[in-house]
Amino acid sequence: MIITEISKGDVAIIAFNGTLDASSAPELRKNRALNDPLQTVVVDLQKLDFIDSSGLGAIVGVARLKDDRRFGILLSCMNDRVRKVFEITNAQKLFHIFDDTKAAVEYGATRQSTCK
């Protein structure tokens, strides 16, 4: 899996490309922005081909590291295969999910500015 990161103001955008499974989940857990309790992160899932329970557990795990509900992980561009995993496990209830990354970044920036 390839993880790319860019910043849009106070919001980090992390894009996953490939497969998020037991072999790639540890890489996700090492990401600086995902492990920063005060960093709002948009995770772009558009190019994520596959996610298994280990990958889902890694996303949920890093979301739990966030300081409080004002900050967190926002998901965007979820394809049908990935969405199905989130729906089957009810994990979609744990996240704000957006159809496009721009909307997620705007929402995240609003959350950041209200918390400063």
DSSP one-letter string for 37-94: TT-EEEEEEEEEEEE-HHHHHHHHHHHHTSSSTTS-EEEE---HHHHHHHHHTTGGGG
| CATH assignment of 2-103, among 3.30.70.3450, 3.40.50.2000, 3.40.228.10, 3.30.750.24 | 3.30.750.24
What confidence tier does 10 reach under pLDDT thresholds 50, 70, 90?
confident
**Predicted pLDDT at 36:** 85
Overall pTM > 0.85: yes
What confidence tier does 107 reach under pLDDT thresholds 50, 70, 90?
very high
**Predicted pLDDT at 62:** 87
Strand, helix or coil at 108? helix
* pLDDT tens-digit series, residues 38-92: 889 999 999 999 999 999 999 998 888 875 555 589 999 999 999 999 999 999 9
- Give residue limits of the domains in the chain: 2-103
